[in-house]
């Protein structure tokens, strides 16, 4: 039976350290501030955004919640970002993705001042990350590196297989994992929808990372015995036995995977709490940079 990697525990540990840094800044009258912009009312996005706000307040940080209607124009969103770029109360700007189709996502991301890009999505941040320069690392990949570190799982020399090539997870995480850094030195394979024989690839993984956004697509027979399994998926599947009408499942068939893996992250309570924690981490880092 696999050991469960408890993301809530790791997150709580990191947040304790962040709380100390925030309290230190508060003494000098600085309150790290995060602006979260949510366009439209996608229920999953709404619940992430609420969780982000609560976590900010718990740590003694300032959070500004900006919710705009689905039909918000690209130009008015650009104007808002410009205002937030200038705003001295704001250290980090997060525009919740995905955006409605009539808004060009890349145009919005490049409008964010790189010094406030706590998502790490700006091309400047991505470029610096690839060059292994100091920057804001994207939150989910960074959180996964922290989960591995906390669990004393070193990627060095391991075969890591990532299923999913998104800008938010697969692409940046693959890069971080082969960097010549303590968190890297792995041999990395990325699989995607055009991969010919997915199972053949995943069976070679010492560390398997599922980030495709497809409910329970990684079944037990796709996992090498004693592999470490990291499940990034958060999928809502209908479940009439639940009061809210759905349950959350990952990209991994959890029960089957537990029989094969040495370590596994659950959904919820695995990667999710880490993403928010690394967002807070980046916001505190930004505020500290403003102070120094």
106 classed as catalytic: no
119 assigned to active site: yes
The residue count for binding ligand GUN (CB under 6 A) is 9
Altogether, the residues listed in the chain come to a count of 292
Tell me the window of 88-96, 146-154, 224-232, 282-290 that interacts with ligand GUN (CB under 6 A).
88-96
Q: Which is nearer to ligand GUN, 77 or 258 (CB)?
A: 77
Among 119, 206, 216, 251, binds ligand GUN (CB under 6 A): 119
- What stretch of H or E contains 67? strand 62-68
Instruction: Compare residues 125 and 202 and give the one whose CB is closer to ligand GUN.
Output: 125
Q: What angle do CA 148, 149, 151 make, to 5 degrees?
A: 65
Q: How many CA atoms lie within 13 A of 95 on its CB side?
A: 28
Residues 125, 286 contacting (CB under 8 angstroms):
no
Residue 251 in the binding site for ligand GUN (CB under 6 A): no
Q: Which residue in the shown chain puts its C-beta closest to ligand GUN?
A: 97
Q: Smaller CB distance to ligand GUN: residue 168 or 222?
A: 168
81 binds ligand GUN (CB under 6 A): no
- CA 197, 201, 207 angle in degrees (round to 5)? 150
> Does position 95 bind ligand GUN by CB under 6 A?
yes
**Rounded to the nearest 5°, which phi and psi values hold at 250?**
-85, -165
Verify whether residue 285 is a known catalytic residue: no
- The residue among 65, 12, 10, 14 whose CA lies nearest residue 36 is 65
Helix (H) / strand (E) containing 11: helix 7-27
Q: Which 125-164 residues touch ligand GUN, going by CB under 6 A?
A: 139-140
Using the minimum distance from each CB to ligand GUN, give the nearer residue, 96 or 125: 96
- DSSP, collapsed to helix, strand or coil, labels residue 232 as coil
> Catalytic residue among 52, 158, 171, 260, which?
52
What does the DSSP 8-state code read for residue 287? Answer: H
Which spans in 179-236 are helix H?
198-202
Only one of the segments 5-13, 94-102, 178-186, 197-205 lies at the binding site for ligand GUN (rule: CB under 6 A); that segment is 94-102
Options 91, 117, 119, 206, the catalytic residue: 119
Q: Which residue among 80, 90, 168, 188 contacts ligand GUN (CB under 6 A)? A: 168
Residues lying near ligand GUN in the complex (CB under 6 A): 94-97, 119, 139-140, 168, 275
């Amino acid at each position: 039976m696999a050991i469960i990697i408890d993301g809530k525990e790791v997150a709580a540990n990191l947040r304790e350290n962040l709380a100390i840094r925030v309290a230190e800044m508060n003494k000098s009258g600085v309150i790290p501030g995060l602006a979260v912009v949510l366009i439209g009312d996608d229920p999953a996005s709404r619940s992430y955004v609420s969780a982000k706000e609560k976590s900010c307040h718990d740590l003694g940080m300032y959070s500004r919640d900006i919710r705009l209607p689905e039909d918000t124009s690209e130009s008015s969103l650009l104007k808002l970002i410009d205002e937030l770029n200038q705003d001295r109360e704001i250290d980090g700007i997060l525009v919740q993705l995905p955006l409605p189709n009539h808004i060009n996502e890349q145009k919005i991301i490049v409008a964010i001042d790189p010094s406030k890009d706590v998502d790490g999505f700006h091309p400047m941040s991505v470029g610096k990350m690839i060059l292994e320069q100091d920057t804001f690392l994207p939150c989910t990949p960074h959180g996964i590196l922290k989960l591995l570190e906390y669990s004393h799982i070193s990627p060095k020399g391991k075969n890591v297989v990532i299923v999913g090539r998104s800008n938010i997870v697969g692409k940046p995480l693959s890069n971080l994992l082969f960097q010549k850094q303590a968190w890297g030195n792995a041999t990395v394979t990325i699989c995607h929808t055009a991969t010919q024989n997915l199972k053949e690839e995943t069976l070679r993984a010492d560390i398997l990372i599922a980030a495709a956004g497809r409910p329970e697509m990684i079944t037990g027979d796709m996992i090498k015995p004693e592999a470490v399994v990291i499940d990034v998926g958060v999928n809502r599947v209908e479940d009439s036995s639940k009061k809210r009408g759905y349950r959350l499942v990952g990209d991994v068939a959890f029960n089957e995977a537990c029989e094969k893996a040495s370590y596994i992250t659950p959904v919820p309570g695995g990667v999710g709490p880490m993403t928010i924690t690394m967002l807070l981490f980046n916001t505190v880092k930004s505020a500290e940079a403003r102070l120094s």
